[in-house]
Amino acid sequence: MVVIGGSLAGASTALLLLRARPSLRVAVVEKSASFPRRVGEATVEVSAYFLSRVLGLTQFINETQLTKHGMRFWFANPGAGTLPECSELGGRYLSRLPAWQVDRSTLDEEVLRRAAAAGATLMRPAKVRQVRLHEGGPQRVTVESGAETLELTARWVVDASGFTCLLARQEGWFRSNQAHPTSACWARWTGVADWDGLDLATRFPAWSQACHGIRNTATNHVVGDGWWAWFIPLKGGDTSVGVVFDQRRVAWPAGPEPLGRRLKTFLCAHPTAREILKDAEPVDGDVRWRANLAYSCDRIAGDGFVIVGDAAGFIDPFYSPGMDWLSYTATRAAELVLRTLDGEAVEPLVRAHNDDFAHSYGRWFDAVYRDKYSWMGDFELMQIGFRLDLGLYYMGVVSQPLRDGAKAFRHPVFSLPRSNIPYRLMAAYNRRLARIADSRRRRGVFGRGNCGRRYLLNGFLPDNSTGRPVLDALFAWIGLELREGWRTWFAPGVKPAHASGTLAVDPARPAAFSSQVVTGGTPAR
Ligand SMILES: Cc1cc2nc3c(=O)[nH]c(=O)nc-3n(C[C@H](O)[C@H](O)[C@H](O)COP(=O)(O)OP(=O)(O)OC[C@H]3O[C@@H](n4cnc5c(N)ncnc54)[C@H](O)[C@@H]3O)c2cc1C
């Protein structure tokens, strides 16, 4: 078997296969000589379970990475001039289930080391140039290693090439998700302020006292209209900070300045980022850009190949689901190969594999991400939507591996019939919140609660006790519908205005964030 790409998806799949079948011959071909830092740094409870309990990395991660304490969101409107005036949504205490902020360069290196220790042959640095697929027969993989070009032959190929999507692009299966045009710009930074440090605690004591947990090790999200930014601290002191925006709502500032400078200027229009990034600078040479983040693949398995991780599709980094997807695709890929090697008929397994992941991708996108960028910048709407999203994730998704262990990763999110009702519910409130956001924007009240409000959750559990807060949030949604949602019940939908590019600006108030508003339709690097 040949695995293309040795980072987390490829190395995990190789490790799972070799643990189950030590006699397998597995070659992992990895392009880089050593892994650079890369995005994909916040785990959530499901990917954390996979890394810790399925791959067995708990001790390694505890020793080398930071424990993550939930998600936190910061909102602003022109009334909010300073950090304490920004509305806050997040946890009051520390999280109850494990999750980490991971430096992927060290984490991926360790998983690859373990795959090699389990018996994989590592070819590195070596690049796969081409795969000649032959369904049901031997696959031929052309590899460049230094000056040499080698031809490998294998019954199975696992494509874990990440965003390169080697097989999908080669075979014409790659589909950009046109309904979700998002771009991202990010860097690792030095000099980022400590959210829990004495400086902020002294200057803003009431603000500091309001949260009993640790704000710094949460994934802090600074949110605006049509965009959000992550702040993820990494072991050793650097912080990963990047922005993701909906290209229909935000036009990226063009101009001659270096990308890192434009990133800082963009973020610092928000009072929270302005405070936290005051003395911060992006690490030289580590500023990255990617457009059109969302895509899927028409096929991710056939008789002789299977695609895992980002190479199999990507939706959106909001809520950090990338490594969840990776956990499901790697688990199922290993299972597909092992079952066929055990003599099961390949065709039904391949069909179920493609169907389950196509279903999962489509529903995951519809339920959680479609039009999300139109309402995520409004504190009041997010206060309802986040509680529902998170509560249902805990009850329906996080609870599965805690109950069933590694077996739970055989069933990607929303692939089982029992997820029909939660899927419909989530798609419904996400659509409605987007409609209400449009109406608020038209009436000039979008983001009216973004100043001076704080909503701190005590934390959810992955069991039925979360039903109560979910019910409370559902009633809050119904209340919102009765108070203002009725305005849009029978009105036709509105297409997103192109690239308004604001934080959450009430046009009736002074445009304190006008530096945020940029012109030009096409996001440019
Ligand atoms: C802006 C942004 C933020 C994100 N934030 C998060 C987050 O906080 N949490 C989260 O869970 N996910 C996040 N993700 C998603 C996450 O980065 C991915 O899900 C994850 O890194 C996928 O890992 P992978 O192993 O599939 O691919 P990659 O990490 O991209 O690895 C692919 C590997 O394949 C190798 N390769 C490529 N082509 C070849 C070739 N031809 N021959 C040999 N080797 C090859 C590469 O060198 C690389 O090592 C984010 C994504 C984006 C875009």
DSSP 244-277: EEETTT-PPP-SSS-HHHHHHHHHTTSHHHHHHT
Residues 27, 3 contacting (CB under 8 angstroms): yes
Which ligand 1 atom minimizes the distance to the CA of 312?
Answer: 26
163 CA to middle of ligand 1, Å?
A: 6
Q: Does pLDDT of 42 surpass 80?
A: yes
117 CA to middle of ligand 1, Å?
A: 22
Contacts of residue 403, defined as CB under 8 A and 6 or more positions apart, other chains included, come to none
pLDDT at 506: 33
Helix H, strand E, coil C: the string for 48-104 is: HHHHHHHCCCHHHHHHHCEECCCEEEEECCCCCCCHHHEEEEEECCCCCCCCEECCH
Q: What is the mean pLDDT of residues 242-259?
A: 94
The pick from 320, 331, 357, 369 for probing ligand 1's pocket by mutation, whose C-beta has the most ligand atoms within 8 angstroms, reads: 320
Q: What is the mean pLDDT of residues 224-253?
A: 96
Q: Which of the residue ranges 4-13, 355-364, 507-516 would you say has the lowest mean pLDDT?
A: 507-516
370 CA to middle of ligand 1, Å?
A: 22
pLDDT at 491: 82
pLDDT at 513: 28
C-alpha angle 325-329-332 in degrees, rounded to nearest 5? 140
pLDDT tens readout for residues 419-436: 999 999 999 999 999 999
User: What does the alpha-carbon distance between residue 483 and residue 485 come to, in Å, rounded to a whole number?
Assistant: 6
Residues 477, 386 contacting (CB under 8 angstroms): no
Q: Does pLDDT of 263 surpass 60?
A: yes
E strand or H helix at 219: strand 219-224
**Percent of the chain scored above 70 by pLDDT?**
94
pLDDT at 496: 54
pLDDT at 518: 27
Residue nearest to atom 26 of ligand 1 (CA): 309
Q: Does pLDDT of 501 surpass 80?
A: no
Residues 429, 372 contacting (CB under 8 angstroms): no
**Percent of the chain scored above 90 by pLDDT?**
92
311 CA to middle of ligand 1, Å?
A: 8
Residues in the chain: 525
Angstrom distances, CA of residue 456 to CA of 71, 94, 387: 11, 11, 11
pLDDT at 504: 44
pLDDT at 524: 38
Residue 475's CB: how many other CB atoms inside 10 A? 11
310 CA to middle of ligand 1, Å?
A: 6
From the list 166, 175, 168, the residue with the least C-alpha distance to 296 is 175
User: What does the alpha-carbon distance between residue 523 and residue 525 come to, in Å, rounded to a whole number?
Assistant: 7
161 CA to middle of ligand 1, Å?
A: 8
Buried b (16+ CB within 10 A) or exposed e, 391-401: bbbbbbbbbbb
Q: Does pLDDT of 503 surpass 50?
A: no
Residue nearest to atom 39 of ligand 1 (CA): 161
Q: How confident is the model at residue 509 (pLDDT cuts 50, 70, 90)?
A: very low
Q: Does pLDDT of 515 surpass 50?
A: no
pLDDT at 134: 97
- Mean pLDDT across the chain: 93
294 CA to middle of ligand 1, Å?
A: 13
Buried b (16+ CB within 10 A) or exposed e, 241-270: bbbbbbbbbbbbbeeeeebbebbbebbbbb
pLDDT tens readout for residues 266-314: 999 999 999 999 999 999 999 999 999 999 999 999 999 999 999 999 9
User: What does the alpha-carbon distance between residue 196 and residue 217 come to, in Å, rounded to a whole number?
Assistant: 9
Contacts of residue 524, defined as CB under 8 A and 6 or more positions apart, other chains included, come to 252, 254
Q: Does pLDDT of 517 surpass 50?
A: no
pLDDT tens readout for residues 328-362: 999 999 999 999 999 999 999 999 999 999 999 99
User: What does the alpha-carbon distance between residue 402 and residue 485 come to, in Å, rounded to a whole number?
Assistant: 37
Classify 476 as helix, strand or coil.
helix
Q: Does pLDDT of 523 surpass 60?
A: no
Q: Does pLDDT of 71 surpass 50?
A: yes
Q: Does pLDDT of 90 surpass 60?
A: yes
pTM above 0.85, yes or no: yes
396 lines ligand 1 (CB under 6 A): no
pLDDT at 516: 32
233 prior amide bond cis, ω within 30: no
pLDDT at 492: 74
Angstrom distances, CA of residue 39 to CA of 34, 75, 369, 383, 498: 15, 23, 19, 27, 27
**Burial zone of 519 (CB within 10 Å; 0-12 exposed, 13-18 middle, 19+ buried):** exposed
Q: How confident is the model at residue 525 (pLDDT cuts 50, 70, 90)?
A: very low
40 lines ligand 1 (CB under 6 A): yes
Buried b (16+ CB within 10 A) or exposed e, 287-310: bbbebebbbbbebbbbbbbbbbbb
37 lines ligand 1 (CB under 6 A): no
Residues 218, 99 contacting (CB under 8 angstroms): no
Q: What is the mean pLDDT of residues 109-138?
A: 97
Q: What is the mean pLDDT of residues 28-38?
A: 96
Classify 415 as helix, strand or coil.
coil
Residues 35, 105 contacting (CB under 8 angstroms): yes
pLDDT at 463: 86
